[in-house]
Amino acid sequence: MKKSIKIVSIALMILAIILVTTSVFATSDFRPNQVNMDTNNTQQVQNVGARILGIVRVVGTIAAVAMLIVLGIKYMMGSAEERAEYKKTLFPYFIGAILIFAATNLADMVYTWASGI
């Protein structure tokens, strides 16, 4: 019972943070053609983003493979009861691994799509 109360309170706090808004008072004489569209230094931001995405991809892959090796060895060496327990831990592992790979690839696809616009 206490665990569900904690989960609900955390969810409510996150919802409150998301819903907090600020007021912006813009001037009425704004003209879009006056905006300076300087794109000379965007290559540095793209390089940093590519490095971060590469690091996340490599670290996620290494962590996923290491966990698969550990779980595989434990599964092979375990008794019948331990094998049943390891089967229960494999499902969250696969969900996490899919999320790691999908997140990095999705970010890369969005970046490639946005670059082409």
Average pLDDT, the chain: 78
Return the domain boundaries, the chain. 45-115
The reported pLDDT for the residue numbered 14 is: 77
Asked if 101 contacts 62 with a C-beta cutoff of 8 angstroms, the reply is no
Give the integer Cα–Cα distance in Å for 3 and 9: 10
Give the integer Cα–Cα distance in Å for 40 and 47: 13
- Looking at residues 37-43, what average pLDDT do you find? 71
Query: What is the DSSP track for 23-54?
Result: -----TT--GGG-----TTHHHHHHHHHHHHH
The reported pLDDT for the residue numbered 61 is: 83
Output the pTM of the full model: 0.53
Report the percent of the chain where pLDDT is more than 90.
0
